[in-house]
Each structure stands twice: as C-alpha cells, then as structure tokens.
Amino acid sequence: MSEKDMKKVGAPKQKVGMTDTNLLLTITIVVFFAMYIGAILFQGKGFLKPQTFLNILNANASLIIVACGMSIVMITGGIDISVGGVVALVSMCCAVYLDFKGGNVFVAILIAILIGLAFGMVQGFLVAYLDIQPFIVSLAGMFFARGMTTIVNTKPFNVANEQFKQLKETRIIVPGLGSVNKLGKYVNAYVEIGVIVALICVIVLFIMLRWTKLGRGFYAVGGNQQSALMLGINVKKTKFLSHTICGLLAGIGGFVYFMHVGSGSASHASGMEMNAIASSIIGGTMLTGGVGNIIGTFFGVLSLSTIQNIVSSAGLDQAWWTGITIASMLCLFLVVQSVVMARSKKKTQKK
Amino acid sequence: MATSKKETGAKAVLGKIVRHQLFIPVAALLILAIFNLIADPSFYKITLGYSNDGNPILSGYIMTILDYGSELAILAIGMTLVTAASGGQDISVGATIAIAGSVILRVLCGTESRPETLKAPIIVAFLVAVVVSMLFGAFNGVLVAYFKIQPMVATLILFTAGRSIAAWINNNELPIISDPKFGYFGGFIPGIPIPTTFFITVICVIIIMLVLKFTTLGLYTQSVGINESSSRLNGLNPAFIKFLSFVILGICVAVVGLIKVSRLSTINYSVVAKDIEMDAILAVALGGNALSGGKFNMTASILGAYVIQFLTTTLYKFKVQSDALPAYKAIVVIALVVMSAPIVRDWMSKTWKNLTKGNKAKEVA
C-alpha cells in the first residue's frame, strides 16, 4: 500500500519536468546525432559508411571502458586522473611480459587486471579511509604510473608474440553492414574484440548503477554524503569501491588499448585521463557528484571522437584545431551543466 | 617539580614548532639537505665560472635550485591565492605559460621567424603577454566564480586547448630571437653572477608581501575560502575575490612565460613548462596549505617551491632518468599527504599519548 502511495506522490513530480540526469543525457544524445548527421551532409559520404562509425568504436573502445570507470568515480563525487598512466603502465607491463618473457596471453590479461585493481584499491583506501582529496591522490597515482612505465622499460617497441598477434588481429564481422569498395568487392564490416569488451562493460555497469544497491549507493554518496550516511549507507566503503571499480576498468581498458596498438611505450595514452573526464562531462555526469549515466558517457566518447574525425576530415589538419574544438565543446557542456544546476537549485528553493 | 615544569615547557615549545605551518617544508628541506650532505658533500660546491661571453657566473647544484625553483616560487604565489579562495587548483598554468611565451615571441618577431632586430621593446612584449595571460586567467575565473564550475574542471578546458592556442598564435613556427639582451631574464645579466630569475622572484615576493600587508586581499581571500556564504553575508563579494585570484595567477604565469622563453630564446609548444602545474600544486601542498581552501601561508608555499626543486635536483644528481622522476615524486607526495591527513594525525597523537602514558604508568609503578 505504502508503495502505491509513494508512486502517487512521485508521479506528478516526474511530469513537471525531466530530472537533471535525463535532461543532460538527452542533450548529449541529440548533440551526437546532430553532429553525425551534419557530418554526413557537409563532409560527403565517408560518414555514411557503417565502417566509419565502427572504426570510431574500434579506436575508442579503451576510452569507453576507462571513461565508464571515471563516470562512476565522478558520480560518487570524486575524480581519478591516474587512469591514463595506468593504461600506459598496463600496456608496457603486458608488452614486456609477452615479448621478453614469452608469456601467455591469459596471464597478461591477469596482470593487466591486477595492476588496475592495485591502483584502484590503494587510491580508494587513501581517499575513503584517510579522507585525502581524490585529486591529489590520483595525481600522485598518475605520476607513479608514468614513472613506473619508464622504469619498466624505456624504449617503445612492438610486440611479436604469436599468440597475442592472433588475438590482436581477430576481427568480428558485423553482419549486414558491409559495403562495396572501389574495386567492386564486397567488404565485410568488422569490429575488434575490444569493442565487444567495451559494450559488455557499458551494459554491466548500466545495470549495476540502475538496479543494484551498490549502484544506488554511488548516487546517494555523490548527491549528499551526510544524508547517505544517515540512510545507513557505508559511505567510506562505497567511495572505496568506486575507486576500486575505476582502477579495475582502467586495467581492462589498458589491455584493450594494448590490443589495439600492439606495442608498449611510455608515451601511450597521454592525455587519456583528460579525454575520459571530458567524455564523462559531455555525457552528462556532474562533477559535483550524484548525477550521471553510463549511456551518456558512451555517447560522450562517441561525440568526442566524432568531432575529432570531422575536424581532421574537414582539412583542418593542423594539430591545434583538435585541441581547440574539444576544449570549446567541453566549455559549452560545462556551461550548460552549470545553468541546469542553477535552474534546479532555484526550483528546490521555490518549493 | 621544577624539572617537570621545564619539561612541559619544552614540550609545549616543541609542540608549537611541530604544529607551525612552516614545520613541514623546513623539515623536508632539512631532511633533503642532510641526506645530500651524507651522500655526497660535493652537492653544495659552488664554482665561479665564466660564460662564453666572459661574464662571471656561479654554477653548482645550489644555483640550479635557486634558478629553476624561482619559476615554481612565482607560480606558487598565484596558485596559493587560487587554492585559498576557490578551494581548487588551476591545472592550466603550464598551457597558459606556453601561450604567454608564444605571445612574447610573436610581438618581438612580428611575422618573421628569425628577425635581425626586435620588432618591439621587450617590455612591450612582456606587457602584452601579461594582458593576454590575465585574459585567460579571467576566462578561468569567470567559469569558476560566476558559473560555479569546479576549478580543476574549468581549467581543464585551457589545459586541453592551451598548447594548441600557443601553436596557433605563431602559426606553428618556432621563431628564434638572436638578441642577447633577451636572454638576460632566464640567464645572467653581465657582471652579476647570480641567476636573474632569483631577482625576479625576489621582486615578485616583495610585491605580493606588500600587497598582503597593506591591502585586505589576504584576509578576504581566506574568509571566502573558509566560508563563502558567511563572507557574502558580511558584505564581501566572493565571486569577485575568486575571479581576482585567477587574474593574479595570470600575471604570475606571464612572468614565468617570459623566463621560460628567455632561457631558450625560442619555444617548444608541446614541451615548455610540461607538468609544471603539478609541481606548483605540490609546492602549495608542501607548504602545509589546505588544498580545500581557506587559510594560507605565502612564505610556506614559496619555501615549498624551492623544496620541490631541491628534491628534483637531488634526484637528477643521482642519475634518475627524467622520465622516471615522477614515480619518486609521487611517493614523496603520498607520504606527505598521508602524514598531513587529519585522521592520521589524530591517530598518531593518540598513540603518542598512549605511549607516554604507558611510560608514566611504569614510572609510577
């Protein structure tokens, strides 16, 4: 009975306006589709080919995974800027293990996951139980990961492990999306394994955030720590777990990145943390915590990489255009967020 | 009785020293200094040499620390104000330094990439760079103060775009200035064997100390950082104070930009002042200032900057690769923040009390 009452009370509220999460998510998805359609209209047929879209996915599978982890930390009200460093460290360690030690691919995957978990747990402990600012902790984490990468091995090199090469070159054919190339041959559309991993991550995390106790705990802690504490949520444990999950995903993302590039280098994934944060913000995750959506993050990554593609195919090849466009896009979304925040604050004050 | 009183007096003094904000940077400096003294006393050797033009210059590790630590100290001044007012840090300083340097070169060189003579006086170029950096600081400030975006994220925008903008200003060319006078700012003035950057820092420090002493900037900044809404109720304008702190940081950035381009007489957009934002934040943290805003101690921050440079130079001396340097710095950072975390401090003081109590109990027994 009480549930019904709750619904009755809740129903008119939802009709008044969209929640912040939904509004931001809608903006992101609309912007993405508008951009893609614009690209098709003004940049010619290149963008019409399904493979162009799939290539964006192929190149950004690792970013999707890493950005998902970032979103979870951001929803909980923290931030983790060590993810780029962890990705570089994972790919270097796996490369050294596979190439110099002639190791097994499955052990390499295990190494990747363990490195990610270790970073996540240490940072989570420092943030949650010692109450240190997440920015500083993960800043140190980033320093440490980048430094360790060069200590493990200085020179960049390609991996020649047979087992790994097989895995790297595995292509999964997407039925029905192939196209006819210039020679009149039918070419199958394909995705790499990483994309499948990324999609699984997105789905699992989406379900977790929406329907599990832990997932709701993330929102509660990010929204208001005090009231979450009073609701009986273990705030420290929740924060710890959010960082642990982010670290784990950075490890997985690191291996996916490694599968895509097939080499180890200290300069890998430079600036990836900033791209991950930017995608999360574009996807409607609020930095103040409590608001966000994994689907939005997914579209955020796609928007970011589509804009990069548009810029480079528009002939604005000079390197600076990419930076400037991404930054202006980020700026736009941040301002939109802050306006939305101000609006919802006013609403609650009126009530 | 008397002895016990003396002891408590000594204890109180000791406690005062330990609790003083300057304790952390001074202690870190002492530890580093003693470590170097034991490991290799030649670290402190200063030799008087002559540069290629026959001017006397002092060289040695200590001079390197003075020289390069000065850039950090200037940045730390601005970063301390931003941290205190907004409770966040500006991570775009490295990128804005690139912009300021690029502007200076653009004004000095015009459109030529290797001009015979300078197109404008250096002071004009510097002033233009100051204005431009203040504008970029103002951009950050508006986002933080008026749109209420978290500082680290608002500055993320310039962090991503800054180096691109810097390259764009000079059309991606790398102008080289041949005028030897331009090199004075990052090197040595003929006849004076101490690096010029040190004098620049002294000037900056004197200015900021005077400002803090004779204006209400320091007080207002701290009150905004401690409690924004109550300082608003007391008639302050928190948004403007925050905005102002970012603009002041812009001035500091322009000064460092001048030093950076003067060192090389040219610029490398992707490398110049790389990771310097991290060092600047570290300097503020090392100075014992709360990174969540509020009270600050300018002297501690400036000292912190030199300690960071001391650490970097020590690591370089022990042949640590420049790329591996961050790993060691990270360990230092973590050790520092863990030590200064309130929870850990409480725990430590508790265990200390328990220990001393235990001793006393034993004595009684």
Note the pLDDT of residue B362. 62
A137·B172 Cβ contact <8 A: no
What does the pLDDT look like over B161-197, one tens digit per residue?
A: 888 888 888 887 888 888 888 888 888 888 788 888 9
- Across B311-340, average pLDDT: 81
B147·A319 Cβ contact <8 A: no
A334·B143 Cβ contact <8 A: yes
- Across B103-114, average pLDDT: 84
Of A21-25, A163-167, A324-328, B94-98, the one with minimum mean pLDDT is A21-25
**A interface test, pick of B153, B163, B171 with most A CB neighbours within 10 Å:** B153
- Provide the pLDDT confidence category of residue A177 given band limits of 50, 70 and 90: low
> How much of chain B, in percent, has pLDDT values that exceed 70?
93
**Chain B residue numbers touching A74 (CB-CB < 8 A):** none
- pLDDT averaged over chain B? 84
CA-based nearest residue in chain A for residue B167? A320
Contact between B87 and B293 (Cβ < 8 Å): yes
Amino acid A273 reads E
A33 pLDDT higher than 80: yes
Q: For residue B6, give how far its alpha carbon lies from the nearest alpha carbon of chain A (Å).
A: 36
Note the pLDDT of residue A316. 63
Sole residue written with tokens 């990836």:
A272
Q: Is residue B296 less than 8 Å (CB to CB) from chain A?
A: no
What DSSP state is assigned to residue B52?
Answer: T
What does the pLDDT look like over B239-289, one tens digit per residue?
A: 999 999 999 999 999 999 999 999 888 888 878 877 788 888 888 888 878
- Provide the pLDDT confidence category of residue A67 given band limits of 50, 70 and 90: very high
Question: What phi and psi values does residue A177 have, to the nearest 5 degrees?
Answer: -115, 5
Let me know if residue A42 belongs to a domain: no
A10 pLDDT higher than 70: no
End-to-end Cα, chain A, rounded Å: 26
A3 pLDDT higher than 50: no
Let me know if residue A249 belongs to a domain: yes
Q: Is residue B339 less than 8 Å (CB to CB) from chain A?
A: no
Q: Which two tokens mark A238?
A: 């929740």
Question: 3-state class of B297 per DSSP?
Answer: coil
From A129, A140, A326, residue closest to B333, measured CB to CB: A140
**Chain B residue numbers touching A327 (CB-CB < 8 A):** 157-158, 160-161, 164
Q: Which two tokens mark B71?
A: 């850039």
Q: For residue B327, give how far its alpha carbon lies from the nearest alpha carbon of chain A (Å).
A: 4
Note the pLDDT of residue A1. 42
- Across A247-276, average pLDDT: 88
Let me know if residue A11 belongs to a domain: no
Domain tally for chain B? 1
Instruction: Give the Å distances, CA to CA, from B27 to A131, B307, B331.
Output: 24, 10, 17
What DSSP state is assigned to residue A177?
Answer: E
Note the pLDDT of residue A133. 81
- Across A69-83, average pLDDT: 91
Q: Is residue B289 less than 8 Å (CB to CB) from chain A?
A: no
Q: Which two tokens mark A252?
A: 């997985």
**B interface test, pick of A131, A136, A149 with most B CB neighbours within 10 Å:** A136
What does the pLDDT look like over A198-217, one tens digit per residue?
A: 999 999 999 999 899 999 99
B160·A137 Cβ contact <8 A: no
B3 pLDDT higher than 90: no
Measured on CA atoms in the order B95, B101, B104, B109, is the torsion positive or negative? negative
A287·B164 Cβ contact <8 A: no
Chain pair A-B, CB pairs under 8 angstroms: 137
> How much of chain B, in percent, has pLDDT values that exceed 90?
30
A16 pLDDT higher than 50: no
Helical H segments across chain B, by residue range: 2-19, 23-39, 61-86, 93-109, 122-145, 151-169, 196-214, 217-226, 228-233, 238-264, 276-286, 298-317, 325-340, 342-364
Contact between A114 and A251 (Cβ < 8 Å): yes
Let me know if residue B199 belongs to a domain: yes
A334·B342 Cβ contact <8 A: no
A223 pLDDT higher than 90: no
Farthest-apart Cα atoms in chain A, separation: 68
Q: Is residue A181 less than 8 Å (CB to CB) from chain B?
A: no
Task: Single out the residue of A155, A80, A79, A112 nearest to residue A259, CA to CA.
Answer: A112
Q: Is residue A144 less than 8 Å (CB to CB) from chain B?
A: yes
Q: Is residue B58 less than 8 Å (CB to CB) from chain A?
A: no
Note the pLDDT of residue A112. 93
**Beta-carbon contacts of residue A273 (< 8 Å; ≥ 6 apart):** A70, A80, A81, A82, A83, A84, A85, A142
Q: Is residue A318 less than 8 Å (CB to CB) from chain B?
A: yes
Let me know if residue B314 belongs to a domain: no
Note the pLDDT of residue A9. 43
Task: Single out the residue of A28, A79, A103 nearest to residue A302, CA to CA.
Answer: A28
Note the pLDDT of residue B363. 62
A287·B150 Cβ contact <8 A: yes
- Provide the pLDDT confidence category of residue B337 given band limits of 50, 70 and 90: confident
- Across B105-128, average pLDDT: 84
Give residues 37 to 66 of A whose Cβ lies within 8 Å of B.
none
What CATH number is given to the structural domain containing A223? 1.10.3470
A323·B161 Cβ contact <8 A: yes
Let me know if residue A296 belongs to a domain: yes
Q: Is residue A186 less than 8 Å (CB to CB) from chain B?
A: no
Give residues 146 to 185 of B whose Cβ lies within 8 Å of A.
147-150, 152-154, 156-161, 163-165, 167-168, 172
Note the pLDDT of residue A234. 92
- pLDDT averaged over chain A? 83
Note the pLDDT of residue B246. 95
A147·B338 Cβ contact <8 A: no
Note the pLDDT of residue B8. 62
- Provide the pLDDT confidence category of residue A182 given band limits of 50, 70 and 90: low
End-to-end Cα, chain B, rounded Å: 19
Note the pLDDT of residue A351. 62
Note the pLDDT of residue B365. 55
Q: For residue A274, give how far its alpha carbon lies from the nearest alpha carbon of chain B (Å).
A: 8
Let me know if residue A290 belongs to a domain: yes
Of A46-60, B47-61, B108-122, B344-358, the one with minimum mean pLDDT is B47-61
Note the pLDDT of residue A131. 84
Q: Please, what is the Cα angle at A115 between A113 and A120, to 5 degrees?
A: 95
Q: Is residue A177 less than 8 Å (CB to CB) from chain B?
A: no
A328·B324 Cβ contact <8 A: no
- Across A71-96, average pLDDT: 91
Q: CB count, 10 Å around CB of A18? A: 12
Render the burial of A251-276: b for 16+ CB within 10 Å, e for the rest: bbbbbbbbbbbbebbbebbeebbbbb
Measured on CA atoms in the order A47, A323, A137, B320, is the torsion positive or negative? positive
Q: Quick one: B94 exposed, middle or buried, by C-beta within 10 A (0-12, 13-18, 19+)?
A: buried
What does the pLDDT look like over B192-240, one tens digit per residue?
A: 888 889 999 999 999 999 999 999 988 999 999 998 889 999 989 999 9
Task: Single out the residue of A340, A33, A50 nearest to residue A186, CA to CA.
Answer: A50
Q: For residue A298, give how far its alpha carbon lies from the nearest alpha carbon of chain B (Å).
A: 20
A155 pLDDT higher than 70: yes
Let me know if residue B290 belongs to a domain: no
Note the pLDDT of residue A319. 64
Let me know if residue A12 belongs to a domain: no
Of A25-34, A40-49, A109-118, the one with minimum mean pLDDT is A40-49
- Provide the pLDDT confidence category of residue B13 given band limits of 50, 70 and 90: confident
- Provide the pLDDT confidence category of residue A18 given band limits of 50, 70 and 90: low
For residue B89, give its domain range.
Answer: 74-275
What does the pLDDT look like over A104-115, one tens digit per residue?
A: 888 999 999 999
Q: Which residue has the higher pLDDT, B54 or A273?
A: A273
B278·A281 Cβ contact <8 A: no
**Cα atoms in the 13 Å half-sphere on the side-chain side of B291:** 25
B328·A266 Cβ contact <8 A: no
From B152, B158, B324, residue closest to A147, measured CB to CB: B324
Q: Which two tokens mark B161?
A: 């775009």
Contact between B333 and A125 (Cβ < 8 Å): no
Question: What phi and psi values does residue A264 have, to the nearest 5 degrees?
Answer: -115, 135
> How much of chain A, in percent, has pLDDT values that exceed 70?
89
Q: Is residue B290 less than 8 Å (CB to CB) from chain A?
A: no
Let me know if residue A18 belongs to a domain: no
Let me know if residue A95 belongs to a domain: yes
A127 pLDDT higher than 50: yes
Task: Single out the residue of A84, A63, A80 nearest to residue A72, CA to CA.
Answer: A80
Let me know if residue B180 belongs to a domain: yes
What is the three-state SS of A218-276? Answer: HHHHHHCHHHHHHCCCCHHHHHHHHHHHHHHHHHHHHHHHHHHHCEECCCCCCCHHHHH
A265 pLDDT higher than 50: yes
- Provide the pLDDT confidence category of residue A63 given band limits of 50, 70 and 90: very high
Q: For residue A331, give how far its alpha carbon lies from the nearest alpha carbon of chain B (Å).
A: 6
Q: Which two tokens mark B198?
A: 């040190």
Q: Is residue A125 less than 8 Å (CB to CB) from chain B?
A: no
A324·B161 Cβ contact <8 A: yes
Amino acid B17 reads I
Of A42-56, A102-116, A268-282, B243-257, which one has max mean pLDDT?
Answer: B243-257
A8 pLDDT higher than 70: no
Rounded to two decimals, the ipTM of the complex is: 0.74
Domain tally for chain A? 1
- Provide the pLDDT confidence category of residue A278 given band limits of 50, 70 and 90: confident
Of A25-34, B16-25, B167-176, the one with minimum mean pLDDT is B16-25
**Chain B residue numbers touching A288 (CB-CB < 8 A):** 150
